[in-house]
Amino acid sequence: MNISYAVQKALRNRLIGAAAVTSFVPANSILDRNDRPAPDPSIIIGEDQVIDDGDMIDRSVSRIVSTLHVWKKESGLSGVKAIAAAVRDAIRQGRLALESGVKCIDCRVSDTRFLRDPDGETAHGVVTIETIVREVA
């Protein structure tokens, strides 16, 4: 079982199900893709890291660190900041619903950064989400 993919699917489902998020970014612009330009506005589901997070002898607990990239054509950063706030509110709504075999212990936004893209026209937000999961039989 690929636990990072299970978390990725659950994160996307949470975001597309959150009216506050989709009021800024249409559900069909919340994507897992690897090319630019990104749709405007968009949330691109980016990189993951899986870290053994437990002292459990069976190594059943992992921390998934997921990166979301928020893109919006704008001269400032207010739009990507509003989208990132909506993402944070959506994540705070409770544990993620994961597929069978994986249980969400905790999920939180641990870091948010805002950048100006070198193209001079695009704002970029980077949202880091940490999810602690336990693999169950």
Those residues with Cβ within 8 angstroms of residue 84's Cβ, 6 or more apart along the chain or in another chain: 70, 112, 114, 125, 127
Q: Which pTM was predicted?
A: 0.91
Spatial separation of the C-alpha atoms in residues 9 and 52, rounded to whole Å: 20
Q: Report cis status (omega within 30 of 0) of the bond before 41.
A: yes
Instruction: Determine how β-strand 102-116 pairs with β-strand 61-73.
Output: unpaired
For 3-135, CATH number out of 1.10.238.10, 3.30.450.20, 3.40.50.300, 3.30.2000.30 equals: 3.30.2000.30
Tokens of 28: 């069909």
Q: What is the pLDDT along the chain (137 residues), one digit of tens a residue?
A: 689 999 999 999 999 999 999 999 999 999 988 766 668 899 999 899 999 877 766 678 999 999 999 999 999 999 999 999 999 999 999 999 998 889 999 999 999 999 998 888 999 999 999 999 998 87
